[in-house]
Chains A and B, each alone.
Chain A
Amino acid sequence: MEKLVRKQASKISTSLGYDAEKEAVVAYGLIAIVQICITLTLVFLFGLIVGAPIEALIVCLSVSILRKYSGGVHADNAEFCTVFSVIYCTVTAVLSKWLAGVYFAVPMLVAGVVIYAAAFAIAYRYVPVDSPNKPIKTEKKIKRMRKGSFIILTVYFALSVLFYLLSFQAPAYRSFGIGMLFGVAWQVLTLTPVGAILLHKLNDLPKYLGKEEKQQ
């Protein structure tokens, strides 16, 4: 996908007489637009198929909005990123719906408190998690990213409390709150070394399976 988008960016830049740096900026923005559109559309469509489109979008957006400030471990290519995001959001959306059906208020409250306590602690320890393709070095930016992450986590916490309280009157809010917990849990996991190992192992799975098939 990235190659295809870069080709289009090159075509556009040549036509407009842009230099190499301007072309790189256009390509960077275009990759973001295409990735956001494809991922959100697929998450919504697969969510519709499994009967939980709102839950799937809640998981997806709660991961991605927090990620904007916290950073996190990265996949090697855009295709794996899209496939993994769609699978994770769809599976957890189904789980959210199912858990909402067997819902008990007290265990839910305990799960919420544990996940948010862990999320704040992990964010305090690791944020921001940068990557070789986008390093974060200045103290000013580190402080800005940390502040942004804590603000977003606080807003998520307030929304989760609101969903929890509303769920006593309207059961539909149960699955929204559970979906948000799945989003926060995954995103903070990608900030930790364990999350990095897990994601890299998953990233290498197709290569490993390909090797196994060749050997057979």
Chain B
Amino acid sequence: MKKLYGLVAAISTLVAALVASSACYIFIYQPEEPASLRNE
């Protein structure tokens, strides 16, 4: 289970980093961006 969690966490972090470089989430809802990803 830990391996699966590790994989999900890695993919999620990668997607979070990709989304962080854009102006907003690709759909019309924007959750609060974590401080470490902020590149204002």
Q: Is there contact, CB below 8 Å, between B2 and A16?
A: yes
Asked if A141 meets B40 with Cβ closer than 8 Å, knowing A24-B34, A84-B28, the reply is yes
CB–CB B24/A67 < 8 A: yes
**B9 contacts A32, CB within 8 Å?**
no
A45-53, A97-105, A127-135, A167-175: which one contacts chain B?
Answer: A127-135
The answer to whether B31 touches A31, judged by C-beta atoms less than 8 angstroms apart, is yes
Per the CB 8 Å criterion, the residue count for chain B at the interface is 34
Find chain B residues with CB under 8 A from A185 CB: none
Q: Are B34 and A39 in contact (CB under 8 A)?
A: no
Cβ–Cβ < 8 Å partners of B33 in chain A:
28, 133-134
With contacts A28-B19, A28-B37, A71-B24 taken as known, whether A12 is within 8 angstroms of B5 at the C-beta atoms is yes
Q: B14 and A29: CB pair below 8 A?
A: yes
Interchain CB contact under 8 A, B16 and A32: yes
Q: Please determine whether B24 and A32 come into contact, CB atoms closer than 8 angstroms.
A: no
Please encode chain A, from 3 to 35, with 1 for each CB lying within 8 Å of some chain B CB and 0 for all others: 000000101110110100110111111111101
Shortest Cβ distance from A10 into chain B, in angstroms? 11
**In the bound complex, what is the Cα–Cα distance between A67 and B19 (angstroms)?**
11
**Distance of B16 from chain A, by nearest CB (Å):** 3
Residue of B nearest to A77 (CB): B29
Cβ 8 A contact of B8, one of A24, A30, A199: A30
The tally of residues in A whose CB lies under 8 Å from a CB in B reads 57
A27→B8 CA distance, assembly (Å): 10
Whether the pair A12, B30 counts as a contact (CB closer than 8 A) is no
Find A30's partner among B12, B22, B23, B39 (CB 8 Å cutoff): B12
Q: A35-B29, A74-B28 are in contact. Are A16 and B16 (CB under 8 A)?
A: no
A145 CB within 8 Å of chain B: yes
Residue pair A29, B16 in contact (C-beta under 8 Å): yes
Q: Smallest CB-CB separation from B35: which chain A residue?
A: A21
Question: Nearest CB to that of A71 among chain B residues?
Answer: B23
CA distance A85 to B32 in the complex (A): 20
Do residues B28 and A75 form an inter-chain contact, with CB atoms below 8 A? yes
Q: How far is the CA of A29 from the CA of B13 in the complex (A)?
A: 6
Which residues of B line the A interface, CB within 8 A?
1-2, 5-6, 8-9, 11-17, 19-20, 22-40
